[in-house]
Amino acid sequence: KQSSEMQLYCDDLILSETTGICSTCCFLFVHPFVLVLYGFSLAGKFSNPSQLLTGSLLCSLKAAAEIGISANHIKLPNTATEADVLKCIASLNGDPAVHGFIVQLPLDSDKPINTEKITNAVAPEKDVDGLSSINAGKLSRGDLGDCFIPCTPKGCMELIRQTGIQVAGKRAVVVGRSKIVGAPMHDLLLWNHATVTTCHSKTSTLAEEVGKADILVVAAGKAEMVKGEWIKPGAIVIDCGINHVPDSTKASGKRVVGDVAYSTAKEKASYITPVPGGVGPMTVAMLMQVRGQIETAGHLYICLWGMLLLTISTDIEISQSCIPKPIDQVAREVGLLPDEVELYGQTKAKVHLSALKRLKNQPDGKYVVVTGITPTPLGEGKSTTTVGLVQALGAHLHQNVFACVRQPSQGPTFGIKGGAAGGGYCQITPMEEFNLHLTGDIHAITAANNLVAAAVDARIFHELTQTDQALYNRLVPSVSGVRKFSDIQIRRLQKLGINKTDPMALTKEEVNLFVRLDIDPGTITWQRVLDTNDRFLRKITIGQSPTEKGFSRMAQFDITVSSEIMAVLALSDGLDDMKKRLGRMVVASSKRGEPVTTDDLGVTGALAVLMRDAVKPNLMQTLEGTPVFVHAGPFANIAHGNSSVLADKIALKLVGKEGFVVTEAGFGADIGMEKFFNIKCRYSGLRPHVVVLVATVRALKMHGGGPAVTAGVPLPKEYMEENLQLLARGCSNLNKQIQNARMFGVPVVVAVNAFKTDTKAELALVVQMAKEAGAFDAVECTHWAEGGKGAVALAQAVQRASQAPSNFRFLYNVELPVIDKIRLIAQQIYGASDIELLPEAQEKVTLYTKQGFGNLPICMAKTHLSLSHDPEQKGAPAGFILPIRDIRASVGAGFLYPLVGTMSTMPGLPTRPCFYDIDLDPVSGEVNGLF
């Protein structure tokens, strides 16, 4: 767009009508893009080329802002030295928020400047000019998919392609040998199978060579150097020249011309780019392209990589700026058959369990679990690291890989925590689908759970208001004069030791045993659930209607993901196993002290019907196209907090022997990882190869004695400034969590999730101390800002660790007494000296042992903010007594969960919940405001 303001700076520049950017512009604007200009003045009109270039910069910055691209300009003073420039470059190289930059040196400086040194100081992955020796070298040897290609040659190739002429086999001549255009243009034409000759101003046979060219690219920087009569009839001519020649008819006294005498050349060429206005806009377009790469490894995994180019301020904007592959394409790429996939729109699908049966003889891939140090309330990036790691393995190292993650509850999504799709450039997409209904699994669990709750209270009500015979007549009704037990009733009779199948053959005593569950209301452990944060449902009174005839009791609602049915879904290894687990769920005890199960209630089959689709894993993808299974989302404190066994098993078969499956364990290693090993791996039979332990400088400073970190409150200065002493003290927590992982015989790789406030010295200290503590390796990661590329070093460390010897072992034998298993976890994992069972907990130990549940694994329910039971105790506390307040049973899922302190199973809404920012665009249909 031309305006008076822009005209001031672009006195005689021709602006492209289609792009609104100067045709002379050669700058890339990446999010955020930085251009370092050294020794320029922005004031006044332009009397030399360096000032003219600054005018083009201002025009470009304005245009970039208008189309929503973040571009920053760093202007160093005229007094800046070469060392100052190098220092600025080093800072930008190390800043994960900067994805690329260009250094523009002055043309008329009298200071000694080593341009080669400065060019090569730019990190290759941020060298958007493509001029460093590494990028230029890759281009020269044909590694076109693994380097930045200078924008103008890339634009020239696109212009040639658009003519429809095949480059292969043609004779091409490049006039000019600059590093910016001529030399890379030669390489691009050569690797596209042309026969290429490079000429320059001193080539004595220039006219003769030009006359042989089917394709002519001129970038000599000399006005009208190539004459029209030299050109071969029908040739393609690309003129890259921007030259100023005197012209008294112009207000400025000069005009812009190309390197080719256009007026005569256009008569002979079949295609020719005019100057000005020809190559410049295409140059800008090429700079703004996302680089893509398609790789094949085993199954065809198509992955996009490179930086997204728009100005992005929120996770959902990043997600929505990415166009995901059709999910049926993802399914094909990973080796699933069409009849094994059930599509839910274009971006998600259910995978049938028949795939696991088909692949049963396929060897498993490598199994990696991502966990973390004890976090701050803000979280330290386990989900983001999980996604970054699989993007690095799949999109950058070309391995077969799957991520297996939990489905988040919509309660926190609308509350204060927000979603759980990862963050930055490491997300599962579409993140709004991931964070909301997905395919309805959580809704199915809500329905199933509440059916059980209704069945419990209905059974108590009917037993209170009917005789044995009336109950029997209704439970086993006569249909057309015939009574018949259902299958589930036969199972109840067998449980009671009654081996009869004829309803008329039962004695009165047997009828009484059959119809009377005799539930003790004070022992009911089954609660209603809702997938919404609602503090006012934490305690409720039910049975207030007159139709309930005075039967009322205190009850409560929990969040859906805390339902035992969710834990059952996560630990089942098939539909039959899930049905059996659903039937074993204990809802209360009878007045005789016997467990009452869902099978006793007669509801098991109905639960299986409600859960028949939920048992199928959900297939999605990351921003870079790597596949993801999203399945189950058990609460990480009262349950084991891991995604489903089924998803892991199918993924391990799909990736094959050399592939990787990366899953995540909720909370810190003392909770999620311990439960992953002792519960999930025990039931699945799977054995992990590597533990990835996520650590942050922020959390370690907190463990070193830093101020409290609170969600929604700005971080104290201790977390914004370098403090190596505070950090070193906090590494005690890192040390302990490394020991916890190694206790299970699995190598540990520490992923140091870098934030922009972290200094190099701080990150290096964490890496050093992690290795000293026994980690197989420790790696700084910048995946949040850079996507999979920022986790390549982590992925390589994981690859190496997966080849290391592993001697996996459980922490305890399940046959040990309940108290001994709890004590082992408290002492070995938390660092306690002993445990203390409060009276209610002691009674439960006796009860569950008597009921036959004493051999179940232990699922500790404690705060995730400390290794101890006290969230204020940071670092690695030792010598404390761990109090066990109560013990509860999830018999269907298959564990006992001791309560260490008070556990809230229904979150509340904050004063300003996330839903204030969530909205739907009625025009586009897009969701806004999720994070």
By annotation, the residues acting in catalysis are 382, 384, 406, 417, 636, 667, 755, 784
Report whether 638 contacts 859 (CB < 8 A): yes
Alpha-carbon distances, residue 906 vs 454, 556, 557, 558, 726 (angstroms): 19, 9, 7, 5, 35
Q: Give the pair of three-digit tokens for residue 785.
A: 């800002």
Measured distance CA(730)–CA(874) in Å, rounded: 8
Write out the H or E segment, with its range, that includes residue 341.
strand 341-343
**Residue 540, token pair as written in the block:** 């409720």
Regarding beta strands 553-555 and 100-104, do their DSSP bridges make them parallel or antiparallel, or are they unpaired?
unpaired
Tokens in use for 698?
Answer: 């922020």
- Residue 687: closest CA among 365, 922, 347: 365
User: Measured at the alpha carbon of residue 344, what is the angle toward residues 339 and 345, in degrees to the nearest 5?
Assistant: 115
The residue with tokens 């970054």 is 388
Residue 639: other Cβ atoms inside 10 A: 28
**514, two tokens:** 């059959």
Asked whether the bond before 276 is cis by omega within 30 degrees of 0, the reply is yes
| Nearest Cα to Cα of residue 524 among 554, 569, 489, 559 | 554
**Coil/strand/helix, residue 588:** strand
State the Cα–Cα distance between residues 61 and 64, nearest whole angstrom: 5
Beta bridge partners of 884: 837
Let me know: does 633 contact 664? Beta carbons within 8 Å.
Answer: no
As a whole number of angstroms, the distance between CA 504 and CA 516 comes to: 18
* Upstream peptide bond of 430 is cis (omega within 30 degrees of 0): yes
CB 96 within 8 A of CB 790: yes
Count H helices and E strands in the chain, helices first.
Answer: 34, 38
Distance CA 271, CA 578 (A): 68
Q: What share of the chain is helix, strand, coil (3-state, %, to 5)?
A: 40, 20, 45
Contact 198, 184 (CB under 8 A): no
What is the C-alpha separation between 218 and 800, in angstroms, rounded? 49
- Using an 8 Å Cβ cutoff, are 80 and 112 in contact? no
* Rounded Cα–Cα distance for residues 68 and 309 (Å): 10
d(CA 197, CA 213): 9
In this structure, are residues 185 and 172 in contact, taking their beta carbons and an 8 Å threshold?
no
Cα 796 from Cα 801, distance rounded (Å): 9
Q: Which residues contact 435 (CB under 8 A, 6 or more apart)?
A: 408, 410, 413, 419, 420, 421, 930
Q: Which DSSP string do the residues of 78-116 spell out, in sequence order?
A: TT--HHHHHHHHHHHHH-TT--EEEEE--SS--S---HH
Give the SS3 label for residue 895. Answer: strand
> How many angstroms separate the CA atoms of 432 and 927, rounded?
7
CA atoms within 13 A on the CB side of 78: 7
Answer yes or no: are the C-beta atoms of 397 and 792 closer than 8 Å: yes
Residue 788, C-beta contacts closer than 8 angstroms, at least 6 positions apart? 305, 388, 390, 391, 392, 393, 394, 395, 396, 426, 624, 626, 795
